[in-house]
A and B are shown apart, each in its own frame.
Chain A
């Protein structure tokens, strides 16, 4: 089974992995109310059990800054989704707080046939994709081990605040790694999982997207 951020929200929160705040809105009116409650800027995502790749069908719109923009976005999104997948059942939209920019990291998990669940850590973007600068540990992972794996990557000086940058909140990353480790111990059926990106600030961190594959 393939699960995405919205379906993973509750379980990740249960293990102390912070996600950006979101509110489900079944109508345009509710969407405007939700955006005002969360404060602008916000993100709008289509909510449908039949759509897994939201971007491909125009089901994600970023950086919305006013009631007016919400209204335009809502109508455009419904239009685009219906054109692309006419048969899709639509529950409404999800209004999500737009995360402030920060240091983007990735925390993921995989079920290894020999060793069971392993957790990966790395910096987001080119650091993981081009340089493959990541570290791994077999679960369960305690705080000390999580700390080691964060400092093990070659670009760890960026996390610690290279070139006058404010250091990122390493404890917040440790909490995500150890929380994920606890979650994996409880859920042996997880095959693969990405929390990507996890945006880390000088205080705190927030997961923006997650996806998971289970048995």
Chain B
């Protein structure tokens, strides 16, 4: 059955809604009511008449209209009864925030089994239990305990750690990264990673799938599902340092730790594995706004030599190539830079960062058949206006350029105006060259997967 009632419900019941500030049932209701969700939201609590000025019902069965999705945050002892009532009511999707299931031991495992029996009997789909909720930024649905609704964007985020995931969403807001779906998977008793990949694959608003993974249940189906998705998928997998099995029978047994196997599986699935959370969202940003390059040959422009050397070093370390430009490209570029400056890739404009210089050089580099992708660096100095070179790139970008461009405006507060222009123009910007190169590499990796892995 489709996951649509969970991620795009028309109506929501919040069971276990509370009038006490600070309680989860209160936070969840407040978040549902205050972020622009258009459909009806029905608080359910047998002890209250209204909560937060909204009519409250004793049970989900008392709600007059249909209920697509139920967000459940009742004490553990009530969870099964409430789920049963949802089934009778004809609710199609449940987000079970209530915890105390398989994550707690044998007794909880038994309860989770019973919960699944109820769920399956009524053909419902369920996120959790033990989830911190679901967000759909495009319909203003914050069915989670995240304090703010993220800016709408093309990145959907699957997180196995509730708390970490939520902190990350806050962080993406600081970075100005737009999200679409955020889902905290919890115990994955019903909806797991495979289901979520399949849903997000056909979801038109998801351009990039980012995952925080601790473990995958259906390994082979997961690989197969990912192979069939041409959208970029990124994953950060925790537990990198865990070693192979302790009881060593064979060399292979001692070498094939879970982490090595995950790396192999991700490679076969066409999933870009990143090292940490910063890389996860840096790469997701680039992949969500820039096209895949045709190859791994990088052109670099900078108004300062140091930054361009750092960038080209990072490129070479990561298996990217800094090719020579064609002769006529070099000759044309010479017209825009001082005689002593370098017209060789990486290009150093020797301090010049005017609109015309950046606009003309970038245009020439994009035309060069030796170049697949560009990094444009601007190092802020008091004699320059950071907005001008930014505008120069954005104007080219608007001219339907098919080669990706990554930018790196360095220099803190003075670059703010430039960075805003880049962001509005759909150019992924990073504060240091290394981060820009990591993001660039993910574009190249995804292109490689499209050619080799994706079916």
User: What distance in Å separates the Cβ of A34 from its nearest Cβ neighbour in chain B?
Assistant: 29
Place the interface of chain B in its size category: 20 to 34
Chain A to chain B contacts (Cβ below 8 Å), 28 pairs: A106-B251, A108-B251, A108-B256, A110-B245, A110-B253, A112-B219, A112-B256, A112-B258, A114-B217, A114-B262, A114-B265, A115-B219, A115-B223, A115-B261, A115-B265, A118-B264, A120-B256, A128-B255, A134-B255, A135-B264, A136-B260, A136-B264, A138-B219, A138-B265, A192-B253, A194-B250, A196-B251, A213-B250
A193 to B255, CA, bound (A): 12
Contact A138 B252 (CB under 8 A): no
Contact B251 A114 (CB under 8 A): no
Q: Does chain B have a CB within 8 A of A145?
A: yes
For chain A residues 185-200, which have a beta carbon within 8 Å of chain B? 191-194, 196
Q: Digit string of A91-121 for contact with B (CB within 8 Å is 1, else 0)?
A: 0000000000000001011101011101010
Please report whether the interface of chain B is mostly helix, strand, loop or mixed according to DSSP: helix
Contact B220 A2 (CB under 8 A): no
The 8 A-B residue pairs with the shortest CB-CB distance, nearest first, are: A108-B252, A115-B219, A136-B264, A194-B250, A114-B219, A110-B256, A192-B253, A192-B250
Q: Does chain B have a CB within 8 A of A9?
A: no
User: What distance in Å separates the Cβ of B381 from its nearest Cβ neighbour in chain A?
Assistant: 42
Contact A112 B261 (CB under 8 A): yes
Q: Does chain B have a CB within 8 A of A211?
A: yes
Contact A120 B255 (CB under 8 A): yes
Q: Digit string of A132-145 for contact with B (CB within 8 Å is 1, else 0)?
A: 10111110000001
Contact B251 A145 (CB under 8 A): no
Q: Does chain A have a CB within 8 A of B384?
A: no
Known contacts A136-B261, A136-B263; is A114 also within 8 Å of B253 by CB? no
Q: Does chain B have a CB within 8 A of A129?
A: yes
Contact A109 B252 (CB under 8 A): yes
> Which residues in A have some Cβ–Cβ distance to B below 8 Å?
2, 106, 108-110, 112, 114-116, 118, 120, 122, 128-129, 132, 134-138, 145, 191-194, 196, 211, 213
A132 to B251, CA, bound (A): 10
Q: Does chain A have a CB within 8 A of B216?
A: yes
- Cβ-closest chain B residue relative to A112: B261
Contact A115 B250 (CB under 8 A): no
Which residues of A sit under 8 angstroms from B253, Cβ to Cβ? 108, 110, 192, 213
- Cβ-closest chain B residue relative to A121: B252
Contact B250 A138 (CB under 8 A): no
A156 to B261, CA, bound (A): 20
Contact A145 B268 (CB under 8 A): yes
- Cβ-closest chain B residue relative to A120: B252
Q: Does chain A have a CB within 8 A of B176?
A: no
Which residues of B sit under 8 angstroms from A193, Cβ to Cβ? 250, 252
A115 to B262, CA, bound (A): 8
Which residues of A sit under 8 angstroms from B217, Cβ to Cβ? 114
User: What distance in Å separates the Cβ of A50 from its nearest Cβ neighbour in chain B?
Assistant: 19
Which residues of B sit under 8 angstroms from A2, Cβ to Cβ? 249
A118 to B257, CA, bound (A): 11
A112 to B252, CA, bound (A): 11
